[in-house]
Chains A and B, each alone.
Chain A
């Protein structure tokens, strides 16, 4: 059975009471000693390993040996198509409040121009134009609360319009 996390693929094969794990040319024999909610007690190549594991949809938090990793489980070979879209959508780098919107749809903007200002944790975050272009669409209003990664504004490169 293959499991894909982010860009890495791990192969796990049942082998009697244990498993054989293969990853990046390495192989290990894994035995599950004990499980409890959110916690695995494993024997990996004879070494005792305690792992804390949590899941939230495709996300997996794993803590092993004092280090925590956030892995995203992938269901297959889904890849986002690259390129093709000349309009650049800008998203919120963190959750917060839209303090000001300095442009309107259709307005020409220059690279580096402040398009809007967010406020989060009492910090001011300026959203700058990534290139010279035109504001194609505005997805938020002043006073609105935004989530991380939420789209704020689309700027279209001027050269792409011709």
Chain B
């Protein structure tokens, strides 16, 4: 087992990984940028190393500095978390050549799955269903021909892509030019690679992914599915498991396809096979069309891994570390079972009423819900600054219930208990998603938030106006303000009592 592990990440996931390290008796090394010098993750580690200024390129994406930090602190392994360098094959390779262990798959597996076009060709060869489409297109007329053959609507997307960046839906030939141009621009900015592919666009598609897990001795299993269809801007906000759409037969079929996909790239450690699921085809499956298609593989730990942990009883991060150290994963596919129902809500500092734009500022109040069956993975406390440098994820709220209904009820109650002031959040928005009949009946597709759910924030209630007014009156009447104000220039904080 490793003696010391450097966590090349920040925020909630860095803290989550540190917990697993500590449980396994490994010392932890955190890295932090200028903006994170007072962040929780830097404080909770056994050691913390400053790696650069606030921009990710100068810090969490700077491979050389991270490896130097690992060597200087005499760590023997690096856990990349998710995002940043977690799916960067050359980083994984550099870690290996520095005689450190990369806690994740091999650089070759990452490389093989990193390119969308190439991975799709590989998957086809391995017999994994893929969305009808074309890769390696050059001219606009090639795209036009391909789109016509597939039939509109089509999806133009970045070959190197992920997270919805460099992706455009094209409904008719006239829109193709603008779509190619803007997707190309976004792709080259985000990935430094402007190659695009075009494929069939599936309306009302669901996003269902399978967790896979393997050790370095050739044992590979799946840990069931996660339904991640509630998305905005192509990014997940609510995930649950089991999926309300899967029958035991489909689950088995998709699980086997996921294991085959991972096996095709000699995968080990934790990974996720994402499928596009067409609910109109799933029951009964049409001949030759399974109704699910390989979308991509995430060759790392997934943000939403906790719901799998709660329903399988496995600690995925501990197992990541253990198999990276060479241990065998001891459970056979038949021994693994799903129990109960788990839901994750991603609490973001963003404004659902304003295009889900990130909201920045100081957290004036921050109170997480508690109780049986409630888990909160977070990296913030009251008084912390939510900056524009990083993903505005405040916390992951995860609940476990014996059934889907009880899990939804528990999540509703937990969201109502969550207080975050100082930034706008999506807490109220998610409450309304969970109580919508499309959600309770499992009909939320990946475009539902954009196309169908016309959300409006509720207007302030009489009670909330009374509370705001009384808080103000109390300020006016008594200097010992009950309003939670972090403003250092507040006259109430003036020690000599003189107000100007």
Residues of chain A within 8 A of B482, CB atoms compared: 35-40, 53
Instruction: Tell me which of B364, B427, B466, B485 contacts A21 (CB under 8 A).
Output: B466
Interface residues of A in 16-47 (CB under 8 A from B): 19, 21, 23-24, 26, 28, 30, 32, 35-40, 42, 44
Residue A90, interface by CB 8 Å: no
Listed stretches B151-159, B305-313, B352-360; interface member: B352-360
Q: Chain B residues near A15 (CB, 8 Å)?
A: none
Instruction: State whether the Cβ of B365 lies closer than 8 Å to any Cβ in chain A.
Output: yes
* Chain B residue with the shortest CB-CB distance to A61: B421
Residue of A42, A57, A68, A71 near B470 (CB, 8 A) is A42
Number of A-B contacts (CB under 8 A): 175
Cβ-defined contact, B465 with A63, below 8 A: no
Residue pair B422, A61 in contact (C-beta under 8 Å): yes
A8, A53, A69, A70: the one within 8 Å of B483 (CB): A53
Check A162 for interface membership: any CB of B closer than 8 A: no
Kindly state whether residue A96 has any CB partner on chain B within 8 Å.
yes
The SS class assigned to the A binding surface is: strand
Partner of B467, one of A42, A70, A96: A42
Which of B355, B417, B483 is close to A66, meaning CB atoms less than 8 Å apart? B417
The size class of the interface chain A forms with chain B is 35 or more
* Contact A40/B422 with A67-B461, A120-B388, A123-B165 known, Cβ cut-off 8 Å: no
In the complex, A104 has a CB within 8 A of chain B: no
Q: How far is the CB of B450 from chain A (nearest CB, A)?
A: 15
Q: Please, what's the 1-or-0 string for B440-481, where 1 marks a CB less than 8 Å from any CB in chain A?
A: 000000000000000000101111111111111111000001
B391 contacts A by Cβ under 8 Å: yes
Contact in complex: B190, A122 (CB < 8 Å):
yes
A54 touches B360 (CB 8 A): no
Interface pair B465/A23, CB less than 8 Å apart: yes
Q: A64 and B484: CB pair below 8 A?
A: no
CB distance from B428 to the nearest CB of A (A): 6
Q: How many residues of B contact A (CB 8 A)?
A: 57
CB-CB < 8 A to B357: which residues of A? Answer: 93-94, 148
Cβ of B318 within 8 Å of any chain A Cβ, yes or no, is no
What does the 1/0 interface line of B120-136 toward A look like (CB < 8 Å)? 00000000000000000
Residues in B with CB closer than 8 Å to A3 are: 465, 468-469, 472
B314 at the interface (CB under 8 A from A): no
- Please name all residues of chain A whose beta carbon is closer than 8 Å to the beta carbon of B421 when the two chains form the complex: 38, 52, 54, 61, 63, 68
Asked if A64 contacts B425 (CB within 8 A), the reply is no
Q: Which residue of chain B lies nearest to A125 when distances are taken between CB atoms in the complex?
A: B357
A56 and B364: CB pair below 8 A? yes
Q: Which residues of A have CB within 8 Å of B199?
A: none
Cα–Cα distance between A93 and B358 once the two chains are bound (Å): 10
A36 to B484, CA, bound (A): 9
- Asked whether B202 is an interface residue with its Cβ less than 8 Å from the other chain, the reply is no
> How far does the alpha carbon of A51 sit from the alpha carbon of B157 in the complex, in Å?
46
B88 to chain A: which residues have CB within 8 Å?
Answer: none
Q: CB distance A54 to B469 under 8 Å?
A: no
B392 touches A (CB below 8 Å):
yes
A-chain residues with CB within 8 Å of residue B302 when the two chains form the complex: none
Is B415 an interface residue when CB atoms closer than 8 A count as contact?
yes
Find out whether the CB atom of A69 lies under 8 angstroms from the CB atom of B460.
yes
Q: Is the CB of B428 within 8 A of A61?
A: no
Indicate with 1 or 0, residue by residue over B175-209, a CB within 8 angstroms of chain A CB atoms: 00000001001100110000000000000000000
Give me 6 other A-B pairs in contact (C-beta within 8 A), A5-B460, A23-B462, A95-B360 excluded. A23-B466, A55-B485, A61-B365, A62-B460, A62-B464, A65-B461
12 A–B contacts from the bound complex (CB under 8 Å): A3-B468, A6-B460, A8-B465, A21-B469, A61-B364, A61-B422, A68-B419, A73-B468, A121-B358, A122-B165, A122-B190, A124-B185
List the 9 closest pairs (A to B, CB-CB), nearest first.
Answer: A66-B416, A38-B484, A51-B467, A61-B421, A54-B364, A54-B421, A95-B388, A53-B471, A55-B483
**Which residues from chain A sit less than 8 Å from chain B, CB to CB?**
1, 3, 5-6, 8, 10, 12, 19, 21, 23-24, 26, 28, 30, 32, 35-40, 42, 44, 49, 51-57, 60-71, 73, 93-96, 99, 119-124, 148
